[in-house]
Structure 1
Amino acid sequence: MSALSRRVNYLLNNAASVINRAFTAGANNSNTEKMTSFGFQQVSEKTKATKVQEVFSSVAANYDLMNDVMSLGLHRLWKDYFVTKLAPPTGSKIIDVAGGTGDIASRIVQYSDRRVGGAESSDEELQVTVVDINKEMLTEGEKRFKNNENIKWVHGDALSLPFPSNHFDAYTIAFGIRNVSNFEQALSEAYRVIKEGGRYLCMEFSQVDNIALKSFYDAYSFQLIPVFGELIAQDRPAYQYLVESIREFPDQESFSNMIEGVGFVNVNYESLLGGVVAIHSGFKPK
């Protein structure tokens, strides 16, 4: 599907959604909170934000260990590849949202160091600002990388970023967008804080299209990951939610439509491991 077609489909679907919500509101003659998914449950956006906070407060101390267990270590390769796709030039100002443990931020700094010949000659102007709504996740990240002067840590919400418009050269978010309560609002905020010509780069679990792989992936996800969560993190419900949240996230084409819908151009995606993970890219027009 062409970029223009995706854009048109997005606008038509969005218009239909607005009309439907208006009709429903008029029929009920009441103002109800907008609903969204929390795993397989339908909850209000406010409730989802609270529940997600509880999930990540619970798993923060074991988050990186569980990532290794759940992905069989593949998340490290995915994150390395994600940063090479970004290829941040020297002197960049980058915002990494939902990046509390610092995995992406530290990789960005290391990538820059390698490009300029090592830490002693590293580009001191490169700055990665990690933003996370969960204080426990930020605490874990700060403990791991407390001596890295290229990383700043900010407590903030992806839906209302505490920065001026046109401020960052690039916006990254890895395995975090599906946990926000309003995808379009998070994308709009990303668009706002990125400079003209700047890049949006998102990595998220996505939809597997191979039937055999999907069957194996579903069995592994629903039968084993919650058990790992119970044994390692002592929190089975948190990892049950994480598995369910992946299945509720839009497929690759639908999320690309959303990215284009807020104004990004040259939008594309790349599926990894048959669609288990997808990297989405877009640019704010100059």
Structure 2
Amino acid sequence: MSGQRTTASGGMETAFGFRKVDEGEKQGLVNNVFHRVAERYDLMNDLMSAGLHRLWKDGMVSWLSPSKRPGFKALDVAGGTGDIAFRIVEASGGQAEVTVLDINGSMLGVGRDRAEKRGLAGNLSFVEANAEELPFSAGSFDAYTIAFGIRNVPRIDRALSEAHRVLRPGGRFLCLEFSEVEMPVLDKVYETWSFNAIPRIGQAVAGDGEPYRYLVESIRKFPNQENFAAMIRRAGFSRVTWRNYSGGIAALHSGWKI
């Protein structure tokens, strides 16, 4: 299977990196990857982004600008280790209530431990569930965030539809994801770094290069900015826009439920 990007019409359902798998098989394979890297997830993101993911996440929460009034409710999906949730609580002046949802119990375990150490456990709840079938009623949240998680969801269209369903009218969808580099030269440099260096560093640092190889390949398969924006619009969101970070290495997508 080639590294060609999937389009707005789909294709991620059966793409485990560059390998084609049966529909229904991908979720278990992805789960195994994250069980293996949960304890070193922040290190993994540092490797994948040369540390820039921290600034991108700050930018994501700044753009969200969570309300500092009591009662602001956010759902952070695929956010097991709590990186985005902690930022939302802090940006809200400690007012926001954030539900951290992840399909992977190992990732949630890391997040719970980190929340306790930061003294933020009172603002957070942790739920093990699937992004394609959220266990919440319609209109439950003011914001839905997902950072570096949507490309690991087999049926992205279902996840987007669920995001729209659980947001209240006027609610905000924000998705931060690795994307298509749009700067000449940087695209070649980044691709060489990704495919050659990252799995080797993962092997050296974490003792396991295979999860990093999958993650690099999954970035290359993910729809580009315009195609992903089209999927967000198709899920029912309005005023869909995106911002590129670092020349398109990552893109932050925004949409509103009107």
The question of a shared fold, defined as TM-score above 0.5 by the shorter chain, is answered with: yes
Give the match for residue 228 of structure 1. 201
Whole-Å Cα distance in 1 between the matches of residues 44 and 20 of structure 2?
Answer: 26
Whole-Å Cα distance in 2 between the matches of residues 80 and 176 of structure 1?
Answer: 17
Verify: 1:216 aligned to 2:186, yes or no.
no
Give the match for residue 93 of structure 1. 73
Give the match for residue 27 of structure 1. none
Whole-Å Cα distance in 2 between the matches of residues 88 and 110 of structure 1?
Answer: 9
1:51 to 29, 44, 56: 29
Verify: 1:108 aligned to 2:81, yes or no.
no
2:171 to 198, 201, 208: 198
Q: Is the 8 A contact 1:45 1:182 kept in 2?
A: no
Which protein is bigger by CA-based radius of gyration? 1
Give the match for residue 66 of structure 1. 44
Instruction: Read off the aligned partner of 2:84 and give its amino acid letter.
Output: I
Q: Is the 8 A contact 1:131 1:155 kept in 2?
A: yes
Whole-Å Cα distance in 1 between the matches of residues 180 and 22 of structure 2?
Answer: 24
Q: Tell me whether 209-218 or 64-73 shows the greater mean CA deviation.
A: 64-73
Give per-residue Cα distances to partners, 1:108-154, cap 9 Å, x unaligned.
Answer: 111112xxxxxxxx43xx20000000000000010111231111111
Give the match for residue 130 of structure 1. 100
Aligned length: 246
* CA-CA distance at 1:71 after TM superposition: 2.1
Give per-residue Cα distances to partners, 1:23-54, cap 9 Å, x unaligned.
Answer: xxxxxxxxxxx952110011123111000000
Q: Is the 8 A contact 1:62 1:232 kept in 2?
A: no
Whole-Å Cα distance in 2 between the matches of residues 106 and 269 of structure 1?
Answer: 23
Q: Secondary structure at the match of 2:37?
A: helix
* CA-CA distance at 1:210 after TM superposition: 2.1
Q: Is the 8 A contact 1:94 1:170 kept in 2?
A: yes
Percent identity between matched residues is: 51
* CA-CA distance at 1:160 after TM superposition: 0.5
Q: Is the 8 A contact 1:38 1:241 kept in 2?
A: yes
Give per-residue Cα distances to partners, 1:203-242, cap 9 Å, x unaligned.
Answer: 0000012230011001110111001111112111100000
Instruction: Read off the aligned partner of 1:193 and give its amino acid letter.
Output: V
Following superposition of structure 1 onto structure 2, how do residues 136-215 of structure 1 map, counting pairs within 5 Å?
136-146=106-116, 147-148=119-120, 149-215=122-188
Instruction: Read off the aligned partner of 2:144 and give its amino acid letter.
Output: Y
Q: Is the 8 A contact 2:152 2:218 kept in 1?
A: yes
Give the match for residue 20 of structure 2. 42
Q: What is the aligned-residue RMSD (CA, Å)?
A: 1.5
**In 2 relative to 1, CA 265–35 (structure 1 residues): closer, same or farther, beyond 3 Å?**
closer
* CA-CA distance at 1:72 after TM superposition: 2.2
| Residue ranges of structure 1 left out of the alignment (5+ in a row) | 1-9, 18-33, 114-121
Q: Is the 8 A contact 2:13 2:155 kept in 1?
A: no
Instruction: Read off the aligned partner of 2:30 and give its amino acid letter.
Output: V
Instruction: Read off the aligned partner of 1:132 and give its amino acid letter.
Output: D
Calculate the TM-score normalised by the size of structure 2.
Answer: 0.92
1:271 to 244, 248, 253: 244
Calculate the TM-score normalised by the size of structure 1.
Answer: 0.83
* CA-CA distance at 1:243 after TM superposition: 0.2
Give the match for residue 4 of structure 1. none
Give the match for residue 228 of structure 2. 255
* CA-CA distance at 1:68 after TM superposition: 2.2
Whole-Å Cα distance in 2 between the matches of residues 166 and 108 of structure 1?
Answer: 19
